[in-house]
Amino acid sequence: MKYDLIVFDWDGTILDSAGAIVKAIQASCRDLDLPVPSDAQASHVIGLGLADAMRHAVPDLPAERVSEMVERYRFHYLSGDHELTLFNGIPQLLNDLKAAGHILAVATGKSRLGLNRALQHSGRGPLFKSSHCADECHSKPHPQMLEELMSEFGVTPDVTLMIGDTSHDLLMATNAGVDGLAVTYGAHPHEHLLEHKPLACLHTVQELDLWLKNNA
């Protein structure tokens, strides 16, 4: 077993939520008569902490309106998040990794309240030994989430793997000195992920499962 600790991003990696996040950002902008970002612009901010994400998605957003934008986003996203599902194949993949002895954790741009809600709804909370959220520490790509997880379990970067669907995940992995593995079925396009030199870019959960069985 090469990796003792395997850390997953949540949105767009485990949960099929990227489309819902984009729609919630765009609806929030319409509510507040702000410029509506394109699908690509809104997708790019997925993985960042919520306030950072809103500022990047709407560059003209006045500082005094960030909290208002965050509030509208939460309204739109939470109105439909109960309908979101894990990507097909993810539950078995997680079960297999845990059974093989890997420590599983989550590093996410979600808030603690948002992740706890998602974990409870998914029923997969017990599979993860720990999780770190963007409202508890620095947002990605700062390495704090990974550094604290490694410290918590007493493991080193060479036995830690970060799996995510965005360049923010891969940059965080690089900044923490750990290997990064990219999935292309989430928020960021293949070519953007390749720029950050992940171990591999995997296009389906089935490809991810096979890679992990052969390499993790």
CATH code 1.10.150 region(s) in the chain: 18-82
Which class would CATH give 5-16+85-215?
alpha beta
Residue with tokens 């918590």: 152
Dist CA 109 CA 54 (whole Å)? 12
- Please give the model's pTM, rounded to 2 decimal places: 0.92
30-32-37 Cα angle (round to 5): 45
Per-residue confidence (pLDDT) for residue 1, from 0 to 100: 87
C-alpha torsion angle, residues 135, 136, 140, 142 (rounded to 10): 140
- All residues at 6 or more sequence positions from 207 whose CB lies less than 8 Å from its CB, including other chains: none
Dist CA 8 CA 130 (whole Å)? 11
Structural fold of domain 18-82: DNA polymerase; domain 1 (1.10.150)
Can you list the residues of the chain whose pLDDT is less than 70? none
Per-residue confidence (pLDDT) for residue 82, from 0 to 100: 86
Per-residue confidence (pLDDT) for residue 156, from 0 to 100: 98
CATH code 3.40.50.1000 region(s) in the chain: 5-16+85-215
Q: Which amino acid is at 48?
A: L
- Segment 105-146, tens digit of pLDDT: 999 999 999 999 999 999 999 999 999 999 999 999 999 999
Per-residue confidence (pLDDT) for residue 133, from 0 to 100: 96
- All residues at 6 or more sequence positions from 128 whose CB lies less than 8 Å from its CB, including other chains: 104, 105, 106, 119
- If one counts every other C-beta atom within 10 angstroms of the C-beta of residue 67, the result is 11
Q: Which amino acid is at 119?
A: L
Ranges of H-type helices in the chain: 18-31, 39-44, 50-57, 66-78, 90-99, 112-122, 144-153, 167-176, 190-194, 205-215
**Pairing mode, strands 201-202 and 179-183:** parallel
